[in-house]
Chains A and B, each alone.
Chain A
Amino acid sequence: MSAQFLQFLLAGLTVGAIYALVALGFSIIYNASHVINFAQGEFVMIGGMTTVSFTAIGWPLPLAIAVAVLAAALVGLALEKFAVEPARGASVVTLIIITIGASILLRGLATIVWDKNIHAVAAFSGEAPIRFGGATLVPQSLWVMGITLVIVLLLTWFFGRTLIGKALLATSHNRLAAQLVGISVRKVLLASFGLSAALGAVAGILVAPITFTSWDVGVMLGLKGFAAAILGGLGSGAGAVLGGLLLGLIEAMGAGYVSSAYKDVIAFVIILAVLFFMPSGLLGKRSTDRV
């Protein structure tokens, strides 16, 4: 395997892991409510910026990270409680537009709470590059990939083995049936928003030492995470992870072998291609309608 190919592969896997986390956030909320939460990117931003604030006042990094994830989860819960729940009878399109409005609000609040400048976050374990096979990796990339793997395994356990996780899954399969067996759909919705927000925040914190963070990182990351979720199949957890990694790899290979100037275009061309030819994505369920 040539060193160049390996370098692109590593870059693709690192950014792909981030897309996977964001895509998981989209899928979890979509599963619980059929709503696409376009404020998902903002949770990523809140995670990174909150960490910046708390490390700036001197808190140790692990504590700042814990607080940042908690803060993002609270924002997610607040979003569900005050923006989505009051409109629960409305059509899905209305709810989606509400989340778009929420994302704009959150971005505006971010410029007031913080500022419009670019901020750096310290890498978790230093910046000394690791070399192997002719390619190099920063330690932070290993953190990104490692923690994403841990989270994916945790989520698999959560959805497969715990009652709350099973309740979330049940609601996604058939809402009415879930209500009939006593699952509180409202609580499920709340939990899904909180969980997605936490996932987004973790993604934002993991990637901030590599890419810096600012009030508007959520826009691009949210859109690309959404593209990844569509690629893998909206609603499928495995699809989200697969879609994220695939998108990251395609982007890195495209930038490396085709043209670096059009890197962003790749994600959006993928959305179009998937929607045209394979709307349910790679691993999504084929939906059928009874006529």
Chain B
Amino acid sequence: MRSKSLLAAVFAVWFGVALAQEPIKIGSFLAVTGPAAFLGDPELKTLELYVEKLNKAGGVLGRKLQLVSYDSAGDAEKARTFAKRLIEQDKVDVIIGGSTTGETMAVVPLVEQAGVPFISLAGAVVIVEPVKKWVFKTPHTDRMACERIFLDMRGRNIHRIGLISGSGGFDKSMRGQCLNVASTYQVQIVADETYGGGDTDMTAQLTKIKNTAGVQAVLNAGFGQGPAIVTKNFRQLGINVPLYQSHGVASKEYIKLSGGAAEGVRLPAAAMVLGDKLPVGDKQRAVAISYIKDYEARYKQDISTFGGHAWDGLMIAVDAMKRAKSTDKAKVRDAIESTKGFVGLDGVFNMSPTDHMGLDLTYFRMLEVRNGDWALVQ
């Protein structure tokens, strides 16, 4: 009898220790290759770099972190398959991923059913509106992009604009949002053109916008290669009004693909791309400079806002685990939902049961392309 209880005790201790040594599994599906590679590639690099750094600093709750990631290549079908694998086979504790809106929305039913906290890195507002219990996101929404752009336009006395957008999930969502909120900022959309995902020539659509009377600016709601072609065609046609893009192209890749045509283009983006160009009192300056230093030292590449989304997702999840003092999915979910005052690369997050994104317009800055680089518009 005594040996049996001793054996049981040893077993319990061994089991407890083994469990404690089990790494915390962070699952991820990202568009590392394919048309959205400029989103997924920096996102993956950021996750890998910081999981490594956190592990070197001792891990979280005394346990190491283990990153399990798959390449969904911008394909919603693949994203769904990989998310299923993460939940059922890899049994991850939290999922940080979904580079594009299409991929994210395909995975939402899975995480809702399985009860796994999911922090998305995609843009469209439909991800968090209506609020879904297990789904959160870090980037600013497309509606906020519209609002930030319209704010800037109002400041420049621009009231009549042409809108051109693509056919992808994010494009369509942002177009819808812009049409909805335009009147609030006294902006009238007088031309509304669309292009297909693989289209290589938008001169027809831009010509129609150019010939619409009274157009004072053009807004391109899209991401991928479409906006780069729109930008080049825009310059070719000699359209003299300001061109605005979405935060979906806030990367050096866009400037490179557009060549010199991107000069003077404005878009809303998180402050982190400016790094040490940020004013000294800025709350985000410290985290931005530190991230840029680590990322560029390791990868010898320019940073982009997309890597910032991934950093925010990972750090919010880790912070939530620390506050919940556990990796129990329900507790972590509750902790994520009550994140307050978290200084991230996208802004300062204040989440709530009705707001699973936690950012407002304050930290969304207006940038302009000058000399092939970003400049802050005051």
Chain A contact residues, CB within 8 Å of chain B: 4, 7-8, 11, 14-15, 111, 115-118, 120, 127, 129, 131, 136-138, 207, 210-212, 214, 220, 252, 255-256, 260-261, 263-264
* Chain B nearest Cβ from A3, distance in angstroms: 8
Partner of A118, one of B167, B225, B237, B260: B225
Contacts known (A127-B260, A261-B167); A115 close to B33, Cβ less than 8 A: yes
Partner of A131, one of B35, B235, B238: B238
Q: Is A129 a contact partner of B235 (Cβ separation < 8 A)?
A: yes
Q: Is B236 a contact partner of A136 (Cβ separation < 8 A)?
A: yes
Nearest 9 Cβ contacts at the A-B interface: A211-B200, A116-B33, A255-B204, A256-B204, A129-B236, A261-B194, A260-B205, A7-B207, A118-B225
Question: Residues 187-213 of chain B: 1 if any A CB is under 8 Å from the residue's CB, otherwise 0?
Answer: 000000111101111011101100100
Chain B residues with Cβ below 8 Å from A111 are: 33
Q: For B41, give the chain A residue with the smallest CB separation.
A: A117
* Chain A nearest Cβ from B268, distance in angstroms: 23
Q: How many angstroms from the CA of A120 to the CA of B259 in the assembled complex?
A: 9
Partner of A127, one of B229, B257, B261: B261
* Chain A nearest Cβ from B123, distance in angstroms: 19
Q: Is B259 a contact partner of A263 (Cβ separation < 8 A)?
A: no
Chain B residues with Cβ below 8 Å from A136 are: 236-238
Chain B residues with Cβ below 8 Å from A117 are: 33, 37-38
Q: Is A129 a contact partner of B238 (Cβ separation < 8 A)?
A: yes
Q: How many angstroms from the CA of A255 to the CA of B260 in the assembled complex?
A: 27
Chain A residues with Cβ below 8 Å from B208 are: 4, 256, 260
Chain B residues with Cβ below 8 Å from A261 are: 167, 194-196
Contacts known (A4-B211, A212-B257); A11 close to B203, Cβ less than 8 A: yes
Q: Is A260 a contact partner of B194 (Cβ separation < 8 A)?
A: yes
- Indicate the member of A129, A138, A212, A255 with the most B CB atoms within 10 Å: A255
Partner of B37, one of A116, A129, A220: A116
Chain B residues with Cβ below 8 Å from A15 are: 200-201
Q: Is B207 a contact partner of A210 (Cβ separation < 8 A)?
A: no
Q: How many angstroms from the CA of A207 to the CA of B200 in the assembled complex?
A: 10
Q: How many angstroms from the CA of A4 to the CA of B237 in the assembled complex?
A: 11
Q: List 22 A-B contacts (CB under 8 A).
A: A4-B207, A4-B211, A11-B204, A111-B33, A115-B33, A117-B33, A118-B225, A120-B257, A120-B259, A127-B232, A129-B238, A131-B238, A136-B237, A136-B238, A211-B200, A212-B257, A252-B201, A261-B196, A263-B199, A264-B196, A264-B198, A264-B199
Q: Is A8 a contact partner of B33 (Cβ separation < 8 A)?
A: no
Chain A residues with Cβ below 8 Å from B198 are: 220, 264
Q: Does B73 contact A (CB under 8 A)?
A: yes
Q: How many angstroms from the CA of A125 to the CA of B257 in the assembled complex?
A: 17
A-B pairs with beta carbons under 8 A, tally: 87
Q: Is B204 a contact partner of A210 (Cβ separation < 8 A)?
A: no
Chain B residues with Cβ below 8 Å from A115 are: 33, 37
* Chain B nearest Cβ from A268, distance in angstroms: 12
Q: For A219, give the chain B residue with the smallest CB separation.
A: B198
Q: Is B201 a contact partner of A11 (Cβ separation < 8 A)?
A: yes
Partner of A260, one of B34, B204, B225: B204
Contact residues, B1-50 vs A (CB, 8 A): 33-35, 37-38
Q: Is A211 a contact partner of B204 (Cβ separation < 8 A)?
A: no
Q: How many angstroms from the CA of A120 to the CA of B260 in the assembled complex?
A: 13
Q: How many angstroms from the CA of A131 to the CA of B196 in the assembled complex?
A: 27
Q: How many angstroms from the CA of A256 to the CA of B209 in the assembled complex?
A: 11
Q: Does B274 contact A (CB under 8 A)?
A: no
Q: A11-B203, A129-B238, A264-B198 are in contact. List 6 more A-B contacts (CB 8 A).
A: A4-B207, A7-B203, A120-B257, A127-B261, A260-B204, A261-B196
Question: Residues 163-176 of chain B: 1 if any A CB is under 8 Å from the residue's CB, otherwise 0?
Answer: 00001000000000
Q: For A118, give the chain B residue with the smallest CB separation.
A: B225
Chain B residues with Cβ below 8 Å from A252 are: 201, 204
Q: Is B207 a contact partner of A8 (Cβ separation < 8 A)?
A: yes
Q: How many angstroms from the CA of A116 to the CA of B259 in the assembled complex?
A: 20
Q: Is B229 a contact partner of A212 (Cβ separation < 8 A)?
A: yes
Q: Is A263 a contact partner of B73 (Cβ separation < 8 A)?
A: no
Partner of B225, one of A8, A138, A212: A212
- Indicate the member of A14, A137, A210, A264 with the most B CB atoms within 10 Å: A210
Contact residues, B236-256 vs A (CB, 8 A): 236-238, 256
Q: Is A255 a contact partner of B37 (Cβ separation < 8 A)?
A: no
* Chain B nearest Cβ from A68, distance in angstroms: 19
